[in-house]
Amino acid sequence: MGSLNMSNGFQRVWDNVLAPLLRRPKRLQVAALCHRGDGDTREFLLVTSRDTGRWIIPKGWPIRGLKSNETALREAWEEAGVRNSRASKDPIGTYSYEKRQPAGWAMPVETLVYSVAVEDLSEEFPEAHERSRKWVKADDAAQMVNEAELKSIFLEQ
């Protein structure tokens, strides 16, 4: 009976003290949930990732000197060609994912999502030759992305 209590005690120490100390802290990214239209005509812009070609929303690391929503707009321009548009002042949600590193390990990332009402879309933009983009309805977008929390954000729109 004593070893069972010892085992339970160690498990509590591991769960509450040691494991959190060894866990990598989440890094922060910002993302743009780009949309056009209203009601039944509302569509969302997805782009492909450069490495795997999976469908994502434009996102990136914070940029010194820019507010988070301004960084989201910059990412929307670089990755999807969104110009002359506006982003929400505050995030509309967050999602987490594991960003694979070239060495093979994964980094936990927390992503702040800003709503971006698209006014203009350019055919020429910095990453045009590296990505595809597609306008889709919320239900389709939720099926196309991998991250469960991002799926939920689409379904709430």
List pLDDT tens digits, range 69-103.
999 999 999 999 999 999 999 999 999 998 877 78
3: in domain: no
42: in domain: yes
Cβ contacts of 51 within 8 Å, gap of 6 or more: 100
Query: What residue spans of the chain are helical by DSSP H?
Result: 2-13, 19-22, 68-80, 138-144, 148-156
> 């569509």: which residue's tokens?
43
Prediction pTM value: 0.82
Into how many domains does the chain fold? 1
Q: What residue numbers bound the domain in which 71 lies?
A: 25-156
Single-letter residue type at 16: N
More confident residue, 105 or 28: 28
Other C-beta atoms closer than 10 Å to the C-beta of 151 total: 18
Residue 151 scores a pLDDT above 90: yes
Residue 4 scores a pLDDT above 60: no
In this structure, what CATH number is given to the domain that contains residue 108? Answer: 3.90.79.10
User: CA distances (Å), 77 to each of 21, 83, 95, in order?
Assistant: 38, 6, 21
